[in-house]
Amino acid sequence: MAQYQTLLYYCYSPIENAEKFAEDHLEFCKSLGLLGRIIVADEGLNGTVSGTPESCAAYMEHIHSDPRFSKTEFKIDDVEEVSFIKMHCRYKEEIVHSGLRNPAEINPNKQTGIHLEPKDFLAMKDQEDVVVLDVRSNYEHNVGRFKNAITLDIENFREFPEKVKELEHLKGKKILTYCTGGIKCEKASALLLKEGFEDVYQLHGGIIKYGKEAGGEDFEGECYVFDNRVTVPVNSVNPSVVSTCKNCGKITSKMINCANPVCNEHFTQCDECGWELEGCCSSACQTHPRKREYDGTGYYVKVPQPVNEEKISKRKHKKLVKN
Ligand SMILES: [Zn+2]
Ligand SMILES: [Zn+2]
């Protein structure tokens, strides 16, 4: 059995008193010793949590025992170390930020694209009248995407509704949307239907489930994930790397945050350049007085601003504990 597991899941199901639910749920997760990030909204749950196989099993059982979430699908990864440093469970207006806040307007429980299981997606994606649409952001599709997929120049999913206007020419084709775990597609495909696209499908369970059930075939590069693994390989059939080091151009799938906390740019950098530039995107950032210590991962715990000396020393201490 793996030492730890990481669970990825979402569930669109109305929650009453969602703010209170979030508080209680945080305590529950802590009682199980889980680490991760969960978003609770009136429309449902979205989370990634990490812990021992026992605590993950207890968590899944707890979620499934609640009639509101009984159909939740968990994507389970075995991991060598816990994928998070803290446990967060927060109330937000949406479980995935689309900026479409009116539930009457976009409600995946009422109308959304037809769910395609990975094998069906694989069988359909190269057909002539089909367009594969990546609904994720630049930093995600830059490091990996389906061969021949249409990608959008967006920094955040909330720009998606605006971008739909540029897809008018695809009307009449079958549109297959995909994202990391399926959650964005629920809203993206719902919006496409609302905007008059007729044949809209979505990859159920996203790239992660596709990797497990269809070998990740034709997914080029790696899949960006929202924990300290940053990217995960999904293609065991015909893998390739599509991203290059920002500094030297060498092929790499490694994504980091610039060690200068003020810059914090999220970019691809090879190991060699990483050590040379101490995890910075440029030599200018390398001279920044608050540059964080590069440990080869380029992953940093978010520290609230402003940072004073006391906090810096505490953070250093925390980092030592973590390592
Ligand atoms: Zn490089
Ligand atoms: Zn930088």
Nearest ligand to the C-alpha of residue 261?
2
- CA 276–ligand 1 middle distance (angstroms): 9
Condensed to tens digits (0 to 9), the pLDDT of residues 179-237 reads 999 999 999 999 999 999 999 999 999 999 999 999 999 999 999 998 888 899 999 99
Residues 6 or more apart from 145 whose CB is under 8 A from it?
A: 134, 151, 219, 220, 221, 242
Pairing state between β 174-178 and 200-203? parallel
How many angstroms separate the CA atoms of 129 and 47, rounded?
35
Condensed to tens digits (0 to 9), the pLDDT of residues 273-295 reads 999 999 999 999 999 999 999 99
Nearest ligand to the C-alpha of residue 263?
2
- CA 299–ligand 1 middle distance (angstroms): 17
Q: How many residues are given for the chain?
A: 323
Q: Mean pLDDT in the chain?
A: 91
Nearest ligand to the C-alpha of residue 259?
2
Find the helix or strand (DSSP H, E) in which 283 lies: helix 283-286
Considering only CA atoms, which of 296, 289, 293, 290 is closest in space to residue 273? Answer: 296
- CA 259–ligand 2 middle distance (angstroms): 7
- CA 269–ligand 1 middle distance (angstroms): 5
The angle subtended at Cα 222 by Cα 224 and Cα 49, nearest 5°, is 40
User: Which parts of the chain are beta strand (E)?
Assistant: 4-12, 35-41, 44-51, 75-79, 87-91, 114-116, 130-134, 144-146, 174-178, 200-203, 219-221, 223-224, 231-232, 255-257, 266-268
The angle subtended at Cα 201 by Cα 198 and Cα 204, nearest 5°, is 160
CA distances from 74 to 9, 87, 196, 197 (A): 5, 18, 32, 30
Confidence band for 301, pLDDT divided at 50, 70 and 90: confident
Give me the active site residues, please: 179
- CA 138–ligand 2 middle distance (angstroms): 17
Q: How much is the CA Rg of the chain, to the nearest whole Å?
A: 20
Q: What is the mean pLDDT of residues 164-172?
A: 95
Nearest ligand to the C-alpha of residue 251?
1
- CA 112–ligand 2 middle distance (angstroms): 39
- Which residues are close to ligand 2, an ion, with C-beta < 5 A? 258, 260, 263, 265, 281, 285
How many angstroms separate the CA atoms of 14 and 21, rounded?
12
51 pLDDT exceeds 80? yes
In single-letter form, the type of residue at position 95 comes to I
